[in-house]
Structure 1
């Protein structure tokens, strides 16, 4: 016996799915026609701009107000430019520049590009306050460690995106910046009082609510004082009492991907996670990246079953679907976005570079890039100085598998430019830098979150606050390696 058609359509109206490959399969379009709220695009869905525009057009054939979302943060998290790196600096760089008008312009530029391709929701900005240097998942995605600065830039980012008709989704409520674990793989815990959250983590969310953000994304983090043993995504105290009651948010609450271990493990699977998130007050459920028709039907079936057995109140699901429909209606009303200067991101990235020391005398250096793993949020996106080096020798090494003497012999008297990401927490990274600097002229380029660590004995320590294509070019220009 199949699902009740009305309840199935209601359940589908709360789901944000995904599909594999560059062309939407027929089931993805059919589900939209049958009531699915929308799809999220990932790097695997993006080959080129014309193809993306054709994909969004195909999805609109299913239903004109379909939500089409993407994680396009600029900086280290990009889907449109996953093959080359983003032409925009990310939040850490914009926070370092500390020009909120610039932040607004950069996010408007990102929004213009999305709107031109038919994408209606940007799952950005990240508004977490990165207070933990060891944070493995936020880092350069944050505007910084100061709540007031993060709040100001978060509001500017939301206003910039939405000024060109793309809905913003501020994330990750109530704040992922103090964690030292990645919620893609486990359930992080932030064991602080609500008073600490209000002072440290929540000011940016208050600012984006005031700025009119259309959506807020939940965090799969545990805050025992508020959420008990489960994540915020399943906490009515967080999503209703705090976000809606205390902060006055009236838009759409979107979950982080329910396939992430921080949610799926806590609930016993994606289907049960969907039920718990809806019951807690979430409106639009991001299923994840690896989705097929069977998974969508399974999750919809779980929601319908929960309505039937009393675990979910039908009125709660109707409320969620109504809020999601309101988000879709807002995106359909968007006008034609303006044009944006093409060099905006590169100019912004140059303003973010910080130099401690002396960077002259670097003619024909040996460039050494240390291998660094990427988070699931970042994906495998090219980074470094390589794309901007004209004829200069570059080698790529693993810090724990090389030694200073070998690199010194390879340099053969040339200065060394060592490029890394998050060197303070890269296995073997800090030790290799110190050993190199003790014997050779070394300039370090840090393209991750710099933290408090600084190497000893180097000629210069250069911080880009991100590893986008724009950040890499900016560093190469500052070092005099390109004109």
Structure 2
């Protein structure tokens, strides 16, 4: 195989559009490793199926990946919110069989669409409430419990034939920096990592996970390079954890990597990574050509051993096996899981139709622009409900005029203005229900508190059902 084809075979770019452009189809036919689909590529399942049929028509074993974590991070349901709860909700439900069933149902849907690789689950832990990017994408804080759910998710996903991907090695949960925007340095020793963060990744490896995604995270004892560019990080993954599958980068165009994209690609391959994810800022044909040429030049100059590139291309190609379409997608399973995840504190009882305020905050880049908010669900289930825009606590109290108030937040503990609105409403003495859709933080004094452990469509629906059932 030519060096150019090998170099092309390790690239997994994103692209614009809901149909495959001609230049991309030619690249696939000429050996491009694969693609990663984003919300910008999705209308509905039928369109994704047709798109993937185009790609597989150019080459049957092309890798087709997607970030379908479920919960807050969804691509297939980016236009309306996920039909399944995310990891934190599944962890809160505490039922490994349910986690496995949800993953298998997701995989059956992905397989029917022609997807061969799902960039999930997040094996990160919740280790600080100030983490800006993982949150409810994690199964929880306890390494062993989270690890058991990671393994169950991997087993459910791969039993259907879709490759799973445990991410973001060595674990993002202790960071207070979003690697989409800057380079996090983990305040952790290698020994701490081995005893905590690496536990869920070890569980994924033992469950047979076919790929692992590196995080753009610096572990000081491993050196100054982020894990994606760090040979010691890959050594730990390969030798200490025993992983033999494909190592995939997080988006190489993220600001945590920085510098020249071509240089970063070569450095990642030299460190031991196999597949290069290039999805955030889509490349055109010229951009891909420049990357391929840079990788080839690195081999020819001796910077990148040819056997390393051959190994990387081989491992990447193994993720392209087309999954067989199978029965097993259950569109009702997610709501069942979301109901099981709900947590209620205090006395949940409304004297009549409420005034609802959704305190929306800017979502992380990973989540993107996915619909969020409880108001529409309560309007449907409780006639007479009034949804009002966010304003001051005094303004909300005036609009309520003695009616009960439902205030909805996404990690209020990380947003001072949202926290102040909730606490002020509670201090006024209103009949107040606080619905938290992120990782549960401190009690802010509401009469009742509902924790959904996620902001997906089914998590919001489950919360609305519970509140409606408690309304006189």
Partner SS, residue 178 of structure 1: coil
1:74 pairs with 70, 73, 83, which one?
70
In structure 2, the partner of 1:393 is 386
Report the Cα distance in structure 2 between the residues aligned to 1:185 and 1:67, rounded to whole angstroms: 27
> 2: CA distance between counterparts of 1:466 and 1:448?
5
Aligned twin of 1:38: 34
Note the 1:45-444 alignment, pairs <5 A.
Answer: 45-226=41-222, 228-239=223-234, 241-263=235-257, 265=258, 268-289=259-280, 290-328=282-320, 331-332=321-322, 334-388=323-377, 389-390=379-380, 391=383, 392-397=385-390, 402-439=391-428, 440-444=430-434
SS at match of 1:414: coil
Q: Show CA shifts across 1:224-274 (max 9, x none).
A: 111x221000111111x20111111110001001000111x1xx1211110
Give CA-to-partner distance per residue, 1:107-135, whole Å, 9 cap, x none: 11110110001011000000111111110
Report the more deviating stretch, 377-386 or 212-221.
377-386
Contact 1:20 1:44 in 2 (8 A): yes
Retained in 1: the 8 A contact 2:357–2:375?
A: no
1:362 Cα offset (Å): 4.5
Aligned counterparts of 1:481 and 1:412: Cα–Cα separation in 2:
23
For residue 434 of structure 1, give the secondary structure of its aligned residue in structure 2: helix
Query: 1: CA distance between counterparts of 2:214 and 2:333?
Result: 31
RMSD of aligned alpha carbons:
1.3
Deviation at 1:363, TM superposition (A): 2.0
Partner of 1:261, secondary structure, is: coil
Tell me if structure 1 keeps the 8 A contact 2:72–2:456. Answer: yes
CA contact (8 A) 2:20 2:54 kept: yes
Q: How far is 1:482 from its partner?
A: 9.7
Question: 1: distance between equivalents of 2:14 and 2:289?
Answer: 13
- Secondary structure of the residue aligned to 1:396 is coil
Distance 1:350 1:455 in 2: 23
2:463 maps to which residue? 475
Cα distance in structure 1, aligned partners of 2:158 and 2:127:
28
Between the aligned partners of 2:279 and 2:291, the Cα distance in structure 1 is 12
Q: Would you say the 8 A contact 2:15–2:279 is kept in 1? A: no
Secondary structure of the 2:196 match is helix
SS in structure 2 opposite 1:480?
helix
| Aligned residue in 1 for 2:14 | 18
What's the offset of the Cα at 1:313? 0.7
Distance 2:365 2:138 in 1: 16
Q: With structure 2 as the length reference, what TM-score do the two structures score?
A: 0.96
1:476, 1:482 within 8 Å by CA — same for their partners in 2? no
Mapped to 2, the partners of 1:68 and 1:363 lie a distance apart of 49
Relative to structure 1, the CA distance from residue 45 to residue 362 in structure 2 (aligned partners, 3 Å threshold; closer, same or farther) is farther
Alpha-carbon distance, 1:342 to partner? 2.5
Displaced runs of 4+ in structure 1, greater than 3 A? Answer: none
2:448 matches 1:455: no
Query: In 2, Cα distance between the equivalents of 1:129 and 1:102?
Result: 20
Greater CA drift, 169-178 or 338-347: 338-347
Offset at residue 384 of structure 1 (A): 1.8
C-alpha distance in 2 between matches for 1:405 and 1:274: 53
Deviation at 1:385, TM superposition (A): 1.2
Question: 2:106 touches 2:329 (CA, 8 Å); kept in 1?
Answer: no
TM-score, normalised to structure 1's length? Answer: 0.94
Number of aligned positions between the proteins: 465
